[in-house]
Structure 1
Amino acid sequence: MSIRHLLRHGVPLLAAALTLSACGGEGSGSTPSGSADSGGLSRISPDERKPLRLSGRTLEDTPLDTAAYRGEVVVVNIWASQCGPCRAEASGLTTVAEETRAKGVRFVGINTRDPSREAARAFEKKYDVPYPSLYDRMGKLVLAFPRGSVNPQAIPSTVFLDRKGRIAARALRPLSEADLRKVITPLAAEKRS
């Protein structure tokens, strides 16, 4: 098979397969230490949590660094505008983000695989998303997560950081408002330090 044939036929097929497997599937991957709820949420005990710092440019092309949120709980949602399950969970994320802000909880999105910022901004406008999203067209931010914390092919995914900036929980599926509160409430109750 020639390189030309592979580039013409193989790359588009691989991209299509990744897109189909990426949206809504849990996929495989190592499970972080801690307890896994039957609903697909994994929690990590405080002594086994790994730090995560994300930085980049938002959909509005402004810099964002999660280190600025140290001392607060941070909910990081990985999404794409063409992902049906991402659209299904968007209003719940928006509602919980607004209601928990006064409790020291910040939400940050990571928009991945959208070829342009315009589609992602249209998604945020449609769902009235009140928090910033990092633009990660090539998935480099997602690949920088500690091994086993997310599956780069599974979107939506959500990672919860404790007040020290460490991964405290994760979900490799869409989340309801109840799911979000179930994880955020005990994290927000943890002592600030």
Structure 2
Amino acid sequence: MSTSRISRRRRAISMRVPAFPLAALMSAFSLTGCTTTQTGHGSVSQGYVAGSSGVTRFAKAERSTAPQLSGDTVGGETLNTSTFKGKVIVLNVWGSWCIPCRREAEYFAKVSKDLESAGQPVAFVGINTRDNNKQYAAEFEKNFGITYPSLFDPAGKLILQFPKGAASPQAIPATIVIDKNGKIAARALAPINDTTLLEMINPVLAEQ
């Protein structure tokens, strides 16, 4: 077979294979698997600062309004984040199947209990996603000593309520800190420890 006939055949085959949209591919990847991606050495853009720890902090004037989330919890109760008005809300997106989520779970358990004991106006809320069975999520909470509630969101519908862009929890695990006025103040797209978690929370708590 001549070179020209081979080339024409390859072009014909490639035209019959549909291309998967890049945006859809990235979306499927980010919501399906865990990530430990860092943000490099830090950058400043459009009112937010992305640091080397994977944490993005938003200036007060540039903060987006967080959605009010509601639904059933892993524990079988109902929850609406509007009941935490006036408090700093710490949202953690996790799944029992996610290895990086397991690495950070003990820190969330510790910090949430410490801040509660200190009487700080902070509410921790988990968003459990991609777990089709509440039993797996409940066992995860028990094993790691998680005492705050987690909304059960197997299909990721609650995550999609967040504004697109830098304020979106577009990975698992992800952490979002919401200020007392219901605005998104900080976001992390990587597993974090207790030090980083407090560095996200304390400046927001100190705001007037």
TM-score (norm 1): 0.83
Listed one character per residue, the Cα deviations across residues 111-133 of structure 1 (whole Å, up to 9, x for unaligned) are 00001101000000100101000
Match of 2:140 among 117, 123, 128: 123
Q: Which residue of 1 is the match for residue 52 of structure 2?
A: 38
TM-score (norm 2): 0.77
Q: Which residue of 2 is the match for residue 144 of structure 1?
A: 161
Of 56-65 and 86-95, the range deviating more from structure 2: 56-65
Listed one character per residue, the Cα deviations across residues 58-110 of structure 1 (whole Å, up to 9, x for unaligned) are 11222111111111111000000010000000000011101112111111000
Aligned residues: 173
Gaps of 5+ in 1: 1-13
CA RMSD of superposed structures (Å) = 2.2
Q: Which residue of 1 is the match for residue 35 of structure 2?
A: 24
Q: CA deviation at 1:25?
A: 4.1
Q: Which residue of 1 is the match for residue 196 of structure 2?
A: 179
Q: CA deviation at 1:27?
A: 9.1
Larger Rg: 2
Match of 1:71 among 86, 89, 95: 86
Q: Distance in 1 between matches of 2:135 and 2:46?
A: 34
Q: Which residue of 2 is the match for residue 8 of structure 1?
A: none
8 A Cα contact 1:51 1:166, kept in partner: yes
Is the counterpart of residue 81 in structure 1 residue 96 in structure 2?
A: yes
Q: Which has the higher contact order (CA 8 A, sep 6+)?
A: 1
Q: Distance in 2 between matches of 1:178 and 1:141?
A: 27
* Amino acid across the alignment from 1:111: N
Is the counterpart of residue 95 in structure 1 residue 106 in structure 2?
A: no
8 A Cα contact 2:87 2:122, kept in partner: yes
Match of 2:72 among 39, 44, 57: 57
Q: Distance in 2 between matches of 1:40 and 1:134?
A: 24
Of 120-129 and 52-61, the range deviating more from structure 2: 52-61
Listed one character per residue, the Cα deviations across residues 142-184 of structure 1 (whole Å, up to 9, x for unaligned) are 11111022253x1100000001111000000001100011111
Q: CA deviation at 1:54?
A: 1.3
Q: Percent identity?
A: 42
Q: CA deviation at 1:33?
A: 3.7
Q: Measured at CA, do residues 175 and 27 of structure 1 come closer, stay the same or move farther in structure 2, by a change above 3 Å? A: closer
Q: Distance in 1 between matches of 2:97 and 2:187?
A: 22
Is the counterpart of residue 156 in structure 1 residue 173 in structure 2?
A: yes
Matched residue of 2:64: which SS?
coil
* Amino acid across the alignment from 1:35: V
8 A Cα contact 1:72 1:163, kept in partner: yes
Q: Measured at CA, do residues 181 and 27 of structure 1 come closer, stay the same or move farther in structure 2, by a change above 3 Å? A: closer
